[in-house]
Structure 1
Amino acid sequence: MADTLLRRGGAERFTQAVAALSPAAGPRLAELTPPGQINLRGRPSDPKFVRTVGGVLGCVLPLSANTVTSAADVTVLWLGPDEWLLVTPPGVETALVARLREALGDLHAAVTDVTGNRTRLRLSGPNARETLMKGCALDLHPASFKPGQCAQTLLARSGIILHQIDDTPTYDVYPRRSFSEYTWMWLSDAMAEYQR
């Protein structure tokens, strides 16, 4: 099992300083403990693959573009027609990788632990959407991008996965680990006008 006590995000040195400055009003930004992350590839047209993965995860595999499903210990983000990101609590990913590989056996599929690849930033509260819209070309209007949706996109020229959690709105932003400080600083600057 991975030692989750040593897991740190890439923007850790900025989080306490910004948290101390953040007033109650306006958007809030936090770096969450880096979750377990598993890249899953397979054929969605194969009913056995879909059924097997659903049985292991305890939830239906999202087959529609940019959708998300969840179960107790896993959130599944659709990344492409044959690709998903499984997000787990820290330390759960190793056992889940083993269970998936065993269950999938010789089916055409790939299960890869990518836990160190991305960090997770959470942006929430009033004007969170407007903050993201300053650097993201996605249509984030509530009629277009809703809770339970995700997308791979650019935020201020940095590749991210964006997942809307709820109507607050709350977003999980997954930048590559090497871009996490940059993404944190950009978001902090972009939301500053709403914290006055």
Structure 2
Amino acid sequence: MAETAAPAEAAQVNGLRAARRSPASHLTEAFAAGSVPGTATLREIPYQTMVGIRVERGSDAATRVASVTGGLPASSGDVSGSDAAVSVLWLGPAEFMVVAPEESHGSVGGSLISDLTAALGSDEGQVVDLSANRTTFELTGSRAQAVLEKSCSLDLHPRVFKAGTALATEIGHIPVVLWKTADETFRLFPRASFADFLGRWLVDSMREYASPEVP
């Protein structure tokens, strides 16, 4: 019986994957048309596993949670994690967001969320699946910072906003978590309901770099 159950479960998972649509899937062509490789390129990274955590740093529960994630960031802007795949972003003194690949989600066989829930146990705190709550935009290129500076109040100069920094802010009046993953690469985490507006806003902000220079 078990031998036939696994293929059936795999088929169900594949069926669900084929049927779903990401919050900005309808903008794929617009992102490609508005991008200039090396200058400003925008894409959606859909279906990442995201988990909201509330736990007091220094508590036994925080120690157990940290053992699952590979650590918890210590202060504003910090990002920690076990490896390149699992990252933990600081949102507040006792609030964090874990970002991990789709494969970490329980719906496709991953155990990250259940492991975090077990680590918290009955102690005070919270573990919430946010995977369907937000999507991920990645903006990269030599003008990525300039595109964001058109509508972001943060000081994004590399001396201040270094690679490996993540902060809550607004882009085009849309609340996002902004994470600089490399010198010319930023990831934005808007709520799914704002993905269309923010995606179009970013494409419009990139427009000058996609236009030929006027003699």
What TM-score do you get using the length of structure 2 for normalisation?
A: 0.83
Give the 5 Å matches for 1:115-134.
115-134=131-150
Q: Does 1:79 align with 2:91?
A: yes
What TM-score do you get using the length of structure 1 for normalisation?
A: 0.91
Aligned residue for 1:140?
156
Supply the distance in 1 between the matched residues of 2:90 and 2:105 (Cα, whole angstroms): 18
Show structure 1 runs of 4+ deviating over 4 A: 1-7
Q: Does 1:13 align with 2:26?
A: yes
Aligned residue for 2:200?
185
Aligned residue for 1:98?
114
More helix by share: 2
What RMSD in Å do the two structures reach over aligned CA positions? Answer: 1.8
Identity of aligned residues (%): 34
Question: What secondary structure sits across from 1:71 in the alignment?
Answer: coil
Offset of residue 4 of structure 1: 4.2
Structure 1: segments with no counterpart, 5+ residues: none
Q: Does 1:42 align with 2:58?
A: no
More strand by share: 1
In structure 2, what residue type is equivalent to 1:67? D
Supply the distance in 2 between the matched residues of 1:74 and 1:53 (Cα, whole angstroms): 13
Deviations 1:23-53 (A, max 9, x none): 334200001122011100010132x223211
Classify 1:21/1:97 alpha carbon distance in 2 versus 1 (closer, same or farther; 3 Å): closer
Aligned residue for 1:164?
180
- Is the CA contact (8 Å cut-off) linking 1:7 and 1:34 kept in structure 2? no
